[in-house]
Each structure stands twice: as structure tokens, then as C-alpha cells.
Chain A
Amino acid sequence: MTTSVVSSQPADRAHERSWWQRLPKGGVLFSILWLGILVFLVVFADYLSFIRDPDAKVRVAGRLQSNYKLGPGYSAWFGVDGNSQDVFARCIYYARNSLQIGLASTVLGLLIGGTLGVLAGYFRGWIDRIISILIDCLLAIPALVLAVMLIFRLDDIKATWTFLGWMTRKWQIIMTLSILAVAPLARIVRAQTLSLREREFVTAARSLGAKNGRIITKEIVPNLVPTMVTVAFTGLGILIAAEGALAFLGLGLTESWGFQIESNRRRLEKAWWATVFPCLMLLGTVMAFNLLGDRLAKRFDIREAAV
């Protein structure tokens, strides 16, 4: 996605402004607040008294609130679902899975995709050709279709190849989602490396006798960091949405916002809260990461930051 050019704030007047004027504006403020609060709640969920055990049945005055009896209110902030469990507590606890899976698969995807991209862009020639064909092939399969296919097959392959036994469902999802991230990342990194390798400082390093390995690690990779960080934030949002979609389709974890939506959506008429709140959690988290990614893309002037 192309980002528009924005006029940057004059930085030299920063000391004249009071602290509330120096707060990040609009979207970034929302992102930081949303993610900060979410991470705090997720980390300390076990110790905070207002977050119930996600599997406990909610009782008000000793009576079981079964079958969506309790709407959003004081005793259960987001209401209860069909099994009389607290929707708010579940939303918070399931955020653990979403954030963990998103982070782990982004890191894995960055490592694999970044390596491929740097190799293709730096060495060019037949390495570039092979990696480019691989990227083209991966991009020809719609990401979600690829994910559906891989998760499905990993179950079976795991049963035959016992050395993959350590792979729990969560790891399967992380592996699959990181494969989704590889192709777009590799493409962006490749393009950046191609332009970086022609720059003067690389020529200078080479004329001083630096080896390829040194040029890549000391000259190229540090200059790729802004791009990678930016793409990582946008990618996190997309991967968390993909995790939700997988869970929604019944192929992900059952402890996930997507599965909450799936299991409650047939009762939308009776109890909107059990479906809408997980939706809003997913939307807020995805948006928070997208906003951060967008801000960083403008800051570093990166144009192809879309995954």
C-alpha cells in the first residue's frame, strides 16, 4: 500500500510544548493505550480480582446464569455465553493465544523471509531466480487457503513422522502463519536489499576488502531494520486476524476469539454480546497494530509496507 506524504512536526519546538501536547496523537495514542491495557490484563489476568476464571460458571446470588441469561452489566461486564461463562474473562484469556501466536509467527516469518530476501537481493543471479519463483508460487495460493491446507495436513503428517510429535496445535498454527508471512516479507526485503547494495557505503565497504558476510551483517541488515519493524507491526495485525479466521473456521485453537465468534454467532438475535465483544477485541487489536505500522511507515517513508 502506498502511504501518503505527511508534513512532519517541527521537532525543534518540542521543548516548548507541555507534556499533554507531546503525547502521541490520535491513532498512535489509541494503539498504545489499547495494547498497553490489553497486555497488562493478559499478563496479570490470574491475579486481578475482576477477571473471573474463564471456565468458571457465573452465578449471581447463588443462581447459575445459564444460556445467555446475563447481558453486559455490572456483574459480568461483557455478559455471559451459552455455558454461563464470563465473556469478558474469556476475551482476556484468549488474547494470550492471539498475541503469542501473532508474535511468534511474525518473528519466525521475519527470520525466514528476511534471510531469503537478503540472499536473493544481495547475491542476485540464480539464487535470486529460485527464491523469486518460490515467492511467486507462495503468493499464488491465497494465504488463508494455504493455511487451511497446511494445518489440516500437519495433523496427519505428524502421526506418521513421529519426530514431529512436539508440535502442538498452537505450534502448528504458528508454523503455518509464519509461512504465510514469508512470501510478502521476502519480497519487500529483496527489493530493499537490491537498492541498498548499490549504495555508496556498500561499495566503500567492498573496496576496503570486506567479505560478503560482513557486508550483509554490518552494512545491509542494519539498514533493513526500519522496514522490518514496520512490516512486522502491520504483519502482526494481519496474522492475528488470520488466526481469528482459522479459529472461526474450526481449524485453529478453541481458546480463541475466532472460535468464540463461531460458537456464539448462531445466537446473535438472542445474545449479541457473546459475539460482538470478541469481534471488537479482534478489531481493536488488529487496528492497533495496523495504526502503529502505518505511523512507522510514514516515519521511515516506506512505501510497500503492506503484507
Chain B
Amino acid sequence: MRYFLQRFAQLLIVFGLVSFGVLLVMRIGSNSPEELAIKLYGGRPLSPDELTEAISRYHLDTNYFVQYFYWLKGLVIDFDLGQSVANSRAVADLLKPRVWTTVLLGLYANVFGMLIAIPVAVRQAYKRDGRFDKAAGLMTFVGVGVPAIVLGVLLQLLFTVKLGWFPLIGDKIYPWDDLGQHVRNFFLPTLTLTIPVAAIFARLLRAEMVLTLQSDFITLASAKGVSPARVLWRHALRNSLFSIVTAVGTNLGALLGSAVVVETLFDLDGLGSQLVVSVLSSDLFTVQSFVAIIVLLVVSVNLLVDLAYALIDPRIRQMRSLG
């Protein structure tokens, strides 16, 4: 329990520092509150009334710490993230429908990534240095390194242009609205994100499994007559799965980075594609809040990973509560 409180405090500190840093990066480089207000409103000239209103609303005449305090208060208490200039809507309204696209993509990529990676890696570790191991090793190596744009474009060429299975212009449809359409629209983006994730998981799990299979308790299990399948799938896999659980957390940043590219490529309206649109129209409020929300996602998933880690393995729970 102490360990979790510690981790929680640590993650809160990281989130606080990062979101303050983001605010600083967004607002630095203006000589006066008036100039900053104009920038925050997208660079169009403001009338004196609007100017005073903007400055008092966002406390722009104070220092950055006070501004940060009010921004944080807006985020936590009334979910007021400021006004998006491009669509003249509240940032919160812009944000809510888009979070789901990105969250779903990330979820699918991790779930399917595990579903693909586990059997492949187990088979690889079982017949180590065999033909399957070598072929899968090459494929996962390519999968880890392939840039998201390249993979996305090549998949689009194959499945959309040559085979015509999926629509070229994507649309954001959620499973609770229309499941069939949702699958059609999310299949290719999910596949583009899943392949690298599956490859990373498979490589980590294979390496871990190879080590686990050499340990004493596996030899013991085989010696006392446990069937090879059971040794492989129960004893060895269970003790190697932690590498994947950790990788979910460490890989999340890269995954969300690819999601930016993939959402843009497949015209899915998500956090990433909206971030790029907002950047290109220099919409400071939106960019700031979107980055903060993405960081919040990363930080909370990492906390969940830590929790899951300790839940799976009683040894770790005990060890950490002692130390």
C-alpha cells in the first residue's frame, strides 16, 4: 500500500511538472499580457474590451505559476480548458468525442498485440533456433522498426486500393453505434498500430521465455512428469508474462506517437489528428489541453501497469511492501 501511495505521488509530481512545462512552452515568448492574449486567441486583433476580458479570465497579467494554478483549477474542478479559437468552441467539447477514438485504438493495439504475440513467442521459445523461430524473429525485427507511415500506406495500398475491402476515407464510428461499420473503419488503423506492438511484445516474451525455460523449476516440472504443453503454457508462460505487462507501459508513448500519424493517415478524428490540426492553426489552448490529456493518459496507464504487476505476482507485492 505504501508503495502505491509512493508511486501515485511520483506520478502526480511528473504530471504536474509536465503540464506546467507545457503551459510554459505554450505561453513563453510574449512581451506583454496583451500580446499573449492575442496569441491565445489565434492571432486575430482583439477589441480593447475583449482584451481586458481575456486577460482577466485567464489571469494573463500574473506570472506563469498563478496562470498554471488557474488552468489546473479549470481542468480539475469545472473542466473548463479555455476556448478553442479555430471552431470557437470550448476545448472540452472538442476533446470529449475524440478521446474515445484514441483510447479505443490504443486498447485494440495492446489487446490484439498480446493475442498475436503470445502464441508466436511461445512457439518460438519452444523450438528455439528452429525454422519458425528464425522466420518469426526476422518478421518481428522488421515489425519493431517499421515506421508507422510506411506501414499505414502499404496496408492502405493493399487492402483499400488493390482489394477494396475498406473505405479510403475513414470515419469515426463507435462500436456502440454500429459495430460492422466500426470494424470496417477501425480495422486498418488498428492493424497499423498492432503490428509494431505485437512485434515488440513477441520479442520481449521470447527472450524472457528462453530464460525461464532454462530455470530449475521448469526442469523439475518436466522431471516429475508434467506434460510439455502444460510446462510451456502454464509454468513458463505465466512466469514470463511480466515482460509484456511492463512493455504496455513503456511502449505507450511510442504507440500514442504512432496514433498521431495513423489517425491523420486514415482520417480518423482522434486526439492525435486534432492535435496536428490545432497546431497548424496555432490554437494554443487546444494544443495545451490535448497534450496535457495525452500525458495524463500515459501517466495513469503506467500507474495501472504497476498495479497489475503487483496483483499478478504476490512476490512483488510482498517485496515492495517490505522495502
Say whether, besides A141-B294, A290-B141, A4 and B207 are in contact (CB < 8 Å). Answer: yes
Interface segment, one of A45-53, A101-109, A264-272? A264-272
Question: Is the Cβ of B257 less than 8 Å from the Cβ of A143?
Answer: yes
B261, A245: Cβ atoms under 8 Å? yes
**Complex: how many Å from CA A145 to CA B296?**
13
Chain B residue at minimum C-beta to C-beta distance from A180: B257
Identify which of A3, A137, A250 contacts B280 (C-beta below 8 A).
A250
**Contact partner, B157, options A2, A4, A159, A268, Cβ 8 Å:** A268
Question: In angstroms, how far is the closest chain B Cβ from the Cβ of A131?
Answer: 13
Shortest Cβ distance from residue B304 to the other chain A in the assembled complex, whole angstroms:
14
Distance of A139 Cα from B149 Cα, bound (Å) = 22
Say yes or no: A137 contacts B147, CB within 8 Å.
Answer: no
Asked if residues B154 and A279 are in contact (CB atoms below 8 Å), the reply is: yes
Complex: chain A residue closest to B279, CB-CB: A152
Shortest CB distance B308–A (Å): 19
Residues of A within 8 A of B55 (CB): none
A245-B148 contact, Cβ under 8 Å, with A145-B291, A156-B39, A268-B157:
yes
B208 part of interface (Cβ distance < 8 Å): yes
In Å, the complex CA distance between A199 and B39 comes to: 54
How long is the Cα–Cα vector from A261 to B156 in the complex, in angstroms?
13
Closest B residue to A246 using CB positions: B261
B256 / chain A contacts, CB cutoff of 8 Å: 142, 144-145
Interface residue? B254 (CB, 8 A): yes
Alpha-carbon distance between A150 and B21 when the two chains are bound, in angstroms: 11
Consensus secondary structure, chain B interface: helix
What chain A residues lie within 8 Å of B294 (beta carbons)?
141-142, 145
Bound: A142/B252 CA distance, A: 8
Report chain A residues within 8 Å CB of B261: 144, 245, 248-249
One of A4, A149, A280 near B279 (C-beta < 8 A): A149
Are A140 and B18 CB-contacts (below 8 A) given A2-B204, A261-B153, A269-B161?
Answer: yes
A264 to B, closest residue via Cβ: B153
Asked if A126 is at the interface (CB within 8 A of a chain B CB), the reply is no
Contact of A136 with B by CB under 8 A = yes
Docked CA distance A258–B276 (Å) = 15
Stretch at the interface among A72-80, A82-90, A219-227, A281-289: A281-289
Contacting pair A148 B295 (CB below 8 A): no
Report the interface size class on chain B: 35 or more
Q: Give the distance in Å from the alpha carbon of A241 to the alpha carbon of B146 in the complex.
A: 8
Q: Indicate if the CB atoms of B145 and A287 lie closer than 8 Å.
A: yes
Report if A244 contacts B (CB, 8 A): yes
Q: Is the CB of B149 within 8 A of A145?
A: no
Quick check: which of B27-35, B68-76, B85-93, B313-321 contacts chain A, the rest being far away? Answer: B27-35
Scan residues 41-59 of chain B and give those whose CB is less than 8 A from a CB of chain A.
none
* B144 near A286: Cβ-Cβ < 8 Å: no
Hey, which chain A residues are within 8 Å of B149, CB to CB?
A: 241, 244-245, 248, 258, 261, 279, 282
Q: Which of B251-296 contact A (CB under 8 A)?
A: 252-258, 260-261, 264-265, 272, 275-276, 279-280, 282, 287, 291, 294-295
A3 to chain B, nearest CB (A): 7
**Interface residue ranges of A136-179 to B (CB < 8 Å):** 136-137, 139-145, 148-150, 152-153, 156-157, 159-161
- CB <8 Å contact, B208 and A2: yes
Interface residues of A in 278-302 (CB under 8 A from B): 279-280, 282-283, 286-287, 290-291, 294
Instruction: Give the shortest distance, in Å, between A83 (CB) and chain B (any CB).
Output: 20
Query: Which among B17, B210, B260 is the interface contact of A144 at CB below 8 angstroms?
Result: B260
- Asked whether B153 lies within 8 Å of A279 as measured between CB atoms, the reply is yes
Q: Given A141-B253, A148-B275, are A161 and B154 neighbors across the interface (CB < 8 Å)?
A: no
> How far is B149's CA from A120's CA once the two chains are assembled, in angstroms?
36
Does A251 lie at the interface of the complex (its beta carbon under 8 Å from any beta carbon of B)? yes
A119 near B: Cβ within 8 Å? no
Our pick among A144, A258, A286 for the contact of B145 (Cβ within 8 Å) is A286
What A residues does B291 contact at CB under 8 A?
A: 141, 145, 149
**Chain A residues whose C-beta falls within 8 Å of the C-beta of B160 in the assembled complex:** 268
B223 at the interface (CB under 8 A from A): no
Min CB distance B148 to A, Å, is 7
Q: Determine whether B25 belongs to the interface, using a CB cutoff of 8 Å to chain A.
A: yes
**Most chain B CB neighbours (cut-off 10 Å) among A2, A242, A261:** A2
Please tell me if A275 contacts chain B, counting CB pairs below 8 Å: yes
A interface residues with partner B (beta carbon < 8 Å): 1-4, 133, 136-137, 139-145, 148-150, 152-153, 156-157, 159-161, 237, 241-242, 244-245, 248-251, 258, 261, 265, 268-269, 272, 275-276, 279-280, 282-283, 286-287, 290-291, 294
Offer 10 A-B interface pairs, CB within 8 angstroms, sorted by A: A4-B207, A140-B295, A141-B18, A141-B298, A145-B260, A159-B29, A160-B29, A249-B276, A251-B276, A279-B150
Given contacts A133-B17, A140-B253, A149-B25, 8 further A-B contacts (CB under 8 A): A1-B144, A4-B207, A137-B21, A156-B39, A241-B145, A245-B257, A282-B150, A287-B145
